[in-house]
Structure 1
Amino acid sequence: MAVFTSVTLDDLSQWIKQFPLGKALALKGIASGIENSNFFLTTERGEFVLTIFENLGFEQLPFYVQLMRHLAERDVPVPAPVPTHAGELVVALAGKPAIIVSKLDGSSQMDPQPVHCAEVGSMLARMHLAGRDFPLHQPNLRGLAWWVETVPKVLPFLDADKAALLASELAFQRDFAAGPVYAQLAQGPVHADLFRNNVMFVGERLSGCFDFYFAGWDSWLFDVAVTVNDWCIDLDSGRLDQDRVLALTRAYHAARPFTAAEAEAWQTMLRAAALRFWLSRLYDFYCPREAEMLTPHDPTHFERVLRERIAVPAPGIQA
């Protein structure tokens, strides 16, 4: 959530009138993240978040915005999009699509313990179940097709060892995705980016999750693997913490039991989740875009995570 597009309170003075929020009183850019321009927005009606989309067009946004509305209406703690007086959720600002959503209470838990991981696992399962009747469909835009397209773009920047790892893991994941076990995995809308900084806590209570702009249809197990690879690891080494893994997966299983195919695919899906973020960070590092407040993430972190997932089996999940 860097700032690529600058806006001021003066820019908002007329634009904000189409929303039932009163006058805009304060605006502050949010520096974390790397995809959209985000701002904390204070109006006469309260605290909100304004997002200007840098890569997604008007035709792509209904999936993300309607998914948030769908989940919020089913009591999943996510930001609720604010419609205009005319009922529109996405409107133009500075020539780009923009939305306003409710601001969540609390703060991110950057040193999670098993109790926090259990809250995340339970919420993620409820999110998946709530999305079963979501009518819109969009593939995970950072899924396998994107991996196949993007690996050749970053390979020239890598040394022989890293290039060999990236190419071999892509081949491994392509073979798995074409096989019978993958075909049995339950699918639906997934968050696909549920990192520590995308979840809010008040004490030990999860108060909400946000940043749905990598969401899409994928296997629910992939979503769990993405989450475990951030919430349940030692950040310096990439190693999994067994207590946190078990807390998250058991809480998830209690709300939405894993299947036999998911138990069989678990280790492979953890590798897939590590590959996805190593590749995206390589791409952002070597093919960056300009932004006022942009610091690309270190690609070596998820390289370490991937090597760990290949070398050391994770605690299993039970069907």
Structure 2
Amino acid sequence: MSVFTPLSRPQLETFLEAYDLGRLRDFQGIAAGTENSNFFVSLEKGEFVLTLVERGPSQDLPFFVELLEVLHQAGLPVPFALQAKDGVALRELAGKPALLQPRLAGKHISAPNAHHCAEIGALLARLHLATRDRILQRRTDRGMTWMLREGERLLPSLAPKAAEMLNGALEEIRQHREGILALPMANLHGDLFRDNAMFEGNHLTGVIDFYNASAGPMLYDLAISLNDWCSAADGHLQPALANALLASYARLRRFTPAEVQLWPVLLRVACVRFWLSRLIAAQSFAGRDVLIHDPAEFERRLAQRQEVTVALPFPL
């Protein structure tokens, strides 16, 4: 189970006294997280999610609280930090920053269809449109500088074929870095995988886990999501799913010529980011009772993205 900081019932009850939400009925750790400790919390007045933030500088947390409030006010189906009776939303529990948020309805989709992918495309477009005119500033701590540094460090530990592919990808990042940073910007989710969205049938009911959110190129956010939602088990893109996601996004925000040109590059950069982070997690948590996502999944996806046949809808 991926709960890095366990909680006792008395600890949690003391924490919850600050809220007017009634008696604690039950709570349990959530196994899906890989970076923070998350708990389902059942109270007399509803169902909630408690997050203990384990990674990243604490000074960034007001950014997350403000971003989610902006998106909530824009009508997006996102969690938002509940204020306690004293008006404070960002609190502390077990020595960690803590946020209590409403639990969103729905369930995760493991095998998405074109309708699910279209919903994700529209959600990303709405998120970007809600923030592009007033971007909340936060630099990602796993951007291209991090990829170049960690990629070079990990190269000697990889098999020759994998090392050759990664080395080529790092060189591509160096070559296109300036152009990528010149693309249209907004706030990004940064981690909108299948396990961070909930559906009821084909209807998107919630998007969670914004702790990788930052300011950045909108196209990068799209590449991150499409690489997960539209990939088959062997890593290749499924055109029907990818086209549904991209068309739904483009109906709300048209792409620029520069985005069309750099699209294949961004798909590869997004693969590199998660390949590296999973390799690092596998090294850091080896032998511990922590959910580790398979790094080879993104190694396969990067191999499949050496040629990209799914194009962006060209701007008219």
Query: TM-score, normalising length from structure 1?
Result: 0.94
The answer for the alignment partner of 1:22 in structure 2 is 22
The answer as to whether partners of 1:192 and 1:215 remain within 8 angstroms in 2 is yes
- Structure 2: 5+ residue runs without aligned partners? none
The answer for the alignment partner of 1:228 in structure 2 is 226
Q: CA deviation at 1:33?
A: 2.5
The answer for the alignment partner of 1:139 in structure 2 is 139
The answer for the alignment partner of 1:149 in structure 2 is 149
SS at match of 2:58: coil
The answer for the alignment partner of 2:311 in structure 1 is 315
Aligned partner (choices 257, 260, 263) of residue 263 of structure 1: 260
Q: CA deviation at 1:165?
A: 1.6
Distance 2:286 2:46 in 1: 33
The answer for the alignment partner of 2:65 in structure 1 is 65
Change in Cα spacing, 1:175 to 1:135, as seen in structure 2 (3 Å) is closer
Q: Is residue 119 of structure 1 aligned with residue 119 of structure 2?
A: yes
Matched residue type, 1:302: F
1:167-217 deviation per Cα after TM superposition (whole angstroms, max 9, x unaligned)? 2211111210124xx354111110011001111111111111010001111
The answer for the alignment partner of 1:106 in structure 2 is 106
Q: CA deviation at 1:247?
A: 0.5
The answer as to whether partners of 1:154 and 1:286 remain within 8 angstroms in 2 is no
SS at match of 2:305: helix
The answer as to whether partners of 1:2 and 1:291 remain within 8 angstroms in 2 is no
Distance 1:134 1:58 in 2: 23
The answer for the alignment partner of 1:169 in structure 2 is 169
The answer as to whether partners of 1:92 and 1:98 remain within 8 angstroms in 2 is yes
The answer for the alignment partner of 2:281 in structure 1 is 284
Matched residue type, 2:261: E
The answer as to whether partners of 2:53 and 2:98 remain within 8 angstroms in 1 is yes
Matched residue type, 1:220: M
The answer as to whether partners of 2:51 and 2:100 remain within 8 angstroms in 1 is yes
- Structure 1: 5+ residue runs without aligned partners? none
Between Structure 1 and Structure 2, how many residues are aligned? 315
The answer as to whether partners of 2:260 and 2:311 remain within 8 angstroms in 1 is no
Identity over the aligned pairs, expressed in percent? Answer: 39
Q: CA deviation at 1:295?
A: 2.3
The answer as to whether partners of 2:135 and 2:215 remain within 8 angstroms in 1 is no
Aligned partner (choices 157, 174, 185) of residue 187 of structure 1: 185
The answer for the alignment partner of 2:36 in structure 1 is 36
1:31-85 deviation per Cα after TM superposition (whole angstroms, max 9, x unaligned)? 0121000000011210000000111343121111211111011101101210112
RMSD in angstroms over aligned alpha carbons?
Answer: 1.6
Q: CA deviation at 1:110?
A: 1.2
Change in Cα spacing, 1:220 to 1:277, as seen in structure 2 (3 Å) is same
Distance 2:29 2:45 in 1: 19
Distance 1:57 1:283 in 2: 19
Distance 1:130 1:286 in 2: 38
1:131-179 deviation per Cα after TM superposition (whole angstroms, max 9, x unaligned)? 2244530012211121122123322321222122212211111210124
Q: Is residue 297 of structure 1 aligned with residue 293 of structure 2?
A: yes
Q: Is residue 199 of structure 1 aligned with residue 197 of structure 2?
A: yes
Distance 1:278 1:65 in 2: 28
Q: CA deviation at 1:16?
A: 0.7
1:277-316 deviation per Cα after TM superposition (whole angstroms, max 9, x unaligned)? 1111111112337864x12111111011001111343233
Matched residue type, 1:193: D
Query: TM-score, normalising length from structure 2?
Result: 0.95
The answer as to whether partners of 2:135 and 2:187 remain within 8 angstroms in 1 is no
Q: CA deviation at 1:129?
A: 0.7
1:92-147 deviation per Cα after TM superposition (whole angstroms, max 9, x unaligned)? 10011110011110101111111111111011100111122445300122111211
Matched residue type, 1:226: I
Distance 1:2 1:226 in 2: 23
The answer as to whether partners of 2:147 and 2:273 remain within 8 angstroms in 1 is yes
The answer as to whether partners of 1:53 and 1:98 remain within 8 angstroms in 2 is yes
Distance 2:97 2:133 in 1: 26
Change in Cα spacing, 1:289 to 1:57, as seen in structure 2 (3 Å) is farther
SS at match of 1:178: helix
Distance 1:197 1:77 in 2: 15
The answer for the alignment partner of 2:242 in structure 1 is 245
Of 242-251 and 62-71, more deviation after overlay is shown by 62-71
Distance 2:57 2:82 in 1: 19
